[in-house]
Amino acid sequence: MLRVLFTSLAANRALRAVAERSSIGRRFSSRFVAGIQPDDVLRAAQLVNQSGLSVSIDDLGENVASTEEARLSAQLYHQLLDEIAIRRLDANISLKLTHMGLDIEEKLAHELVASLVAKAAKITPPSFVRVDMEGSAYTGRTLALVHALHHQPGNQGHVGAVIQSYLRRSEGDVAQLLSDGIRIRLCKGAYNEPAEIAFQQKSEVDANYVKLMKLLLKTGTYHGLATHDENIIREIKTFALQENIRPDAFEFQMLYGVRRDLQQSLVCEGWRMRVYIPFGAAWYPYLMRRLAERPANVLFIAKNLLRR
Ligand code: FDA
């Protein structure tokens, strides 16, 4: 119920406009968002790196309505890739196609992401572009674009997709991505999707996650397993040990500000961990999705605000 409420709030443009301009809103978001400026996120990335964890940087934004906005967003990602290389950060970037203009014109999104992937492949040390997965209206186009970019000479290993285990279609999508050797981030999925296309029960979503995880880990391609679910993490570790899959053959991924204890303990046990760090002024939909995943976060954040 609360999950549906917060996921619906994520799409509310009027509330978003008010919240993103208010200083209390910004303070509210700071638990999960590393500030507004590129420097904020680069500093956060450095700190996370210092404790032995890798990073993926996300410039918050989605569903942009103008070509100019999309081009500016891509430009910022170019700067981030430059800074990652200059500062020698262990970091890559995550982006959303609707932030790169997919709602305006598919060609525009393709052009902007292609130039970022080419840059990620070319810089020293080489980096990587993860194309986040949005709501189901975008699934097919997002995967087609990742396949197309991955086919470009020189791009292999520098662009990857995201698969959501709540979608019934995901097993088929995984098979196609794996047949091309494309790196996958597996997550459960963060949007409201109808029963015709998505599992509704947590037990079904989790079971599909575990099934797809096993397919991924057997391929030898370097994939990311994004979850904070301790039961699933236990299953992943058990499977990796049983199948003699080396701890450096894949990575766990978690969100900035979520289960920092678990992030650190997995690294101490010798597993790889990448933290997804979002930043930027357009934090509202991202925060609403985090509240949907765990409504108790509202109380948690409010208590922290009062303590300051
Ligand atoms: P689940 O929601 O079942 O939670 C398991 C446990 O984890 C909870 O009991 C709680 O303790 C803890 N937990 C989970 N979320 C929490 C939160 N927000 N705050 C505090 N505790 C929390 N989705 C998508 O649709 N497209 C995408 O591209 C991505 N990308 C992505 C990258 C990375 C690195 C991560 C970790 C996640 C995503 N997601 C995503 C979000 C994902 O789909 C999912 O909504 C969340 O990860 C929550 O699912 P869990 O697997 O953690 O399990």
Residue-by-residue pLDDT tens, the chain, 308 positions: 677 777 777 777 777 777 777 777 777 777 889 998 999 999 999 999 999 999 999 999 999 999 999 999 999 999 999 999 999 999 999 999 999 999 999 999 999 999 999 999 999 999 999 999 999 999 999 999 999 999 999 999 999 999 999 999 999 999 999 999 999 999 999 999 999 999 999 999 999 999 999 999 999 999 999 999 999 999 999 999 999 999 999 999 999 999 999 999 999 999 999 999 999 988 888 888 888 878 777 776 666 555 54
Active-site residue, 39 included: no
Helices (H), the chain: 2-10, 13-21, 23-29, 38-50, 67-86, 106-122, 139-151, 170-179, 202-217, 230-242, 260-268, 284-293, 297-307
Contact 292, 2 (CB under 8 A): yes
CA 13 from chain center: how many Å?
A: 22
Which tokens sit at 220? 């030898």
How far is the C-alpha of 118 from the C-alpha of 107, rounded, in Å? 16
Count Cβ atoms below 10 Å from residue 26 Cβ, excluding itself.
16
Contact 149, 114 (CB under 8 A): yes
pLDDT reported for residue 13: 78
Q: Which residues contact 119 (CB under 8 A, 6 or more apart)?
A: 78, 81, 127
pLDDT reported for residue 248: 97
Ligand 1 pocket, mutate which of 96, 201, 293 (most atoms under 8 A from CB): 293
Ligand 1 mean position to 229 CA, how many Å? Answer: 8
| Cis omega (within 30 of 0) for bond into 125 | yes
pLDDT reported for residue 281: 83
In degrees, rounded to 5, the angle at the alpha carbon of residue 224 between the alpha carbons of residues 83 and 246 is: 110
Ligand 1 mean position to 188 CA, how many Å? Answer: 7
Residue whose CA lies nearest to ligand 1 atom number 28: 132
Q: What is the DSSP string of 214-239?
A: HHHHTS-S-EEEE---HHHHHHHHHH
Ligand 1 mean position to 227 CA, how many Å? Answer: 5
Which tokens sit at 198? 């998505």
Active-site residue, 206 included: no
pLDDT reported for residue 308: 47
Contact 30, 24 (CB under 8 A): no
Which tokens sit at 253? 């991924």
Using a 6 Å cutoff on CB, does residue 276 contact ligand 1? yes
Ligand 1 pocket, mutate which of 142, 173, 229 (most atoms under 8 A from CB): 229
Instruction: Exactly one of 185, 272, 274, 290 is catalytic; name it.
Output: 185
Q: Which fold would CATH assign to domain 34-279?
A: TIM Barrel (3.20.20)
pLDDT reported for residue 22: 75
From residue 269, give the alpha-carbon distance in Å to each of 80, 237, 286: 31, 10, 30
Smallest CA-to-CA distance from 32 within 295, 299, 303, 286 is with 286
